[in-house]
A = this chain, B = another copy of it.
């Protein structure tokens, strides 16, 4: 392969050179975050990236250590009126009830269908929600689950915005992820949502491949069937990647402390701490604050569903975390106009 490999490399290099030289020479630097208004938040992000990539300075971060982690619900897309995975579970329950009407006698199914989420969250381990997850996930192969998620994300629409859920990612955050990757950062999702739910579409929607998605997981049972090997979802060994579970998930799945952490709620406080307190490398902590009741939602202490933000917001000044106001800092909200 030596010669053809070298030829191909030479051709690539030549092409890159030509392409670069053909670009019009801009008078000033391009804006890596065009959907962000000028201000402290935008400056903090750009300044961090420039410091991290400035070779031969004390702040330089070697490429291998440029790990950036992003919460998903409320940070990369909305979590209202309910987290999107819960909307998926509700649609799955409706589909199951159509097949097996006796399921309506199940008190937790009834609570879900009636929107009584408080009841689902009762008990030490959100017993109702776990029961719903068991009904909609357990016993299914990972491939069958992937198909269900894929079908749902392609067709289901958000009740308020009338678009498919994957059209509702935040454009300014898409720009941050691309900007970081262009500067040698590896971007990961670290979410309380299910890893299997997100991995179906994370690469297409965020440019984040499945192996860079850390999320909540259930157990799996391996079986070699006549049709081939399968993994069957079970309800044992549930790992909840939220609150103190986030640094744990980061260590178990990534094995390195992140240097850039993006979240939006108290569920992200522990991973903000883990990335930014006493980190020998420069670090960046960012909180997306939902301040835009007109274009999206406005909440912190009293969210409509998940996303309570009190403690992390209180700690932000002393920790040096950047608080992003969606209303003031973002020119546009959604990636799809």
Contacts and interface: CB of A to CB of B under 8 A. Distances in A.
10 contacts: A6-B20, A6-B23, A10-B20, A10-B21, A13-B16, A195-B255, A210-B255, A211-B211, A222-B248, A237-B239
Interface of A: 1-6, 9-10, 12-14, 16-17, 20-21, 23, 25-26, 28-30, 32, 50, 64, 67, 142, 186, 188, 195-196, 199, 203, 209-213, 217, 219-222, 224, 227-229, 231, 237, 239, 244-245, 247-248, 251-256, 270, 273-274, 277-278
Given A17-B10, A253-B253, A274 B222 contact: yes
Contact of A9 (B20, B50, B221, B244): B20
Contacts of A17: 10, 13-14, 17
A274 B229 contact: yes
B231 A247 contact: yes
Given A6-B23, A229-B278, A256-B210, A222 B244 contact: yes
A4 B29 CA distance: 8
A-B residue pairs, 9 tightest by C-beta: A228-B278, A210-B255, A2-B30, A222-B244, A13-B16, A13-B17, A10-B20, A199-B255, A220-B248
B21 A16 contact: no
A86 to B, nearest CB: 21
Nearest to A26: B2
A13 B4 CA distance: 18
A211 B28 contact: no
B248 A195 contact: no
A225 B219 CA distance: 32
A255 B142 CA distance: 10
A244 B29 CA distance: 53
B220 A251 contact: yes
A26 B9 contact: no
